Structure 1
Amino acid sequence: MKKKSFTSVACLLLSGSMLVSCVGSFRLFNKLATWNKQATGNKFLNELIFILISPAYAVCGVADVLVLNTIEFWSGKNPVRADIGKTRQVEGSDGLMYAVKTLEDGYEITSPDGKISYFRYDKKTDTWSVEGNGVSRELFKFNEDGTIHAYLPDGRSMDVSRDGAGVYTLRMAVNCGTCYAMWQ
């Protein structure tokens, strides 16, 4: 009886320690799914690939649940962050191409004329800032109530919601409430 209850308690403690609400980003599983969606230009071929490699989804899911998400929960870092150090070409709203390099704490952006700026995330203060030409300026901070505290270019700041209405409110504040219409 003692051995049976000891085994039951040990199994309960082991399973409890493995399932400590360490819901993580499921980065390995999501990387596989993203690759599968973009494997070919044909959704039917992508579905065929999905069916053929479906055991890989199970393996990646289990690895995320039992190992990688637990590491991410306790250390704050996901070991599958393979995008750090990689550079992508991104087209800006001006039609020019910018080099965007992923850093541990944000992004390094190189403009077509060679100027470098940084978007950095400070985990301690939950704040994003921009750095360029030796000047650093806070952009926004995540508030505990789910809103964003935005720092405007003119020195003012305001709290807005994390949705389209919040973005609209910020645009109106930055443009001093002026709306521009463009006729085509």
Structure 2
Amino acid sequence: MKILLASRNAGKLREFGELLQGVEFLAWPADAPDIPEEGAFFQDNALQKATFARDWWRRHGTSPVDGVLSDDSGLCVDALWGGPGVLSARFAPGLAQDAKNRRLLALMPPGAARSARFVCVLAWAPMDGDPVTFGGSVEGHLAPEPRGSQGFGYDPLFVPEGYGQTFGELSSAVKQTLSHRSRASRAFLEAVR
């Protein structure tokens, strides 16, 4: 199976390569237009990205693909009213990810509960069919400070339920058994089989 991933995010490309072994991925080309994500919900953004990328690829693609897979995911912190949520990638623009992580921690009200979850919605847009979505989430809490260098994004902040280490400290093999992206990917695999 050959899939166009509607993302230039190297971390996502690496994770999907690990999660969906046997699938050949093409990353969104550097010279292609930016993919819009203007929705208020993860599902809206995932569908918008998948259909935009599929339509563009039909006109400009350089090799045949079976379809387009897009991901919209983010960290939802209860004490921040679910934020950064769908704005996770666009939170604190202009800052490097480590600075974003520290900024997010600085926004936490003193004494507030640190409960949080990672959410992922995948949208699959086959070249010859209607798009469908698959979701996954993992509950946990924020660490008091960033820890670990594994993964990407907010991984050094997030401690999954039942663990004492952040996603940034856990091995990739452990993370792939319980992450939001792995849960959504399993649902996707079951459907396309």
TM-score, with normalisation over the residues of structure 1?
Answer: 0.23
Higher relative contact order (CA 8 A, sep 6+): 2
- Structure whose CA Rg is larger: 1
TM-score, with normalisation over the residues of structure 2?
Answer: 0.22
